[in-house]
Amino acid sequence: MAYVISDDCVSCGTCAAECPAEAISEGDGKYVIDADSCLDCGTCEAACPTGAISAE
């Protein structure tokens, strides 16, 4: 089960910097998580200052 980033994302990049799998990249208006690369570790969810990341 991969994590997803909601529209609450403010594109700060904190999640991408913390992701050990480098599964997060800047998308169109918000960051996105590559579900195939996601390790389901939850590091991004804990790092997100706006709470925009949750388990799918």
Per-domain residue ranges of the chain: 3-55
- Whole-model pTM above 0.85? yes
pLDDT band at 1 (very low <50, low <70, confident <90, very high): confident
How would CATH label the architecture of 3-55?
A: 2-Layer Sandwich (3.30)
Q: Average the pLDDT over 43-52 and give the result.
A: 98
* Backbone dihedral angles phi then psi of residue 15, each to the nearest 5 degrees: -65, -45
* Look-up of token digits 């980033």: 5
For residues 39 and 10, give the distance between their C-alpha atoms in angstroms, rounded to a whole number. Answer: 23
pLDDT of residue 8: 97
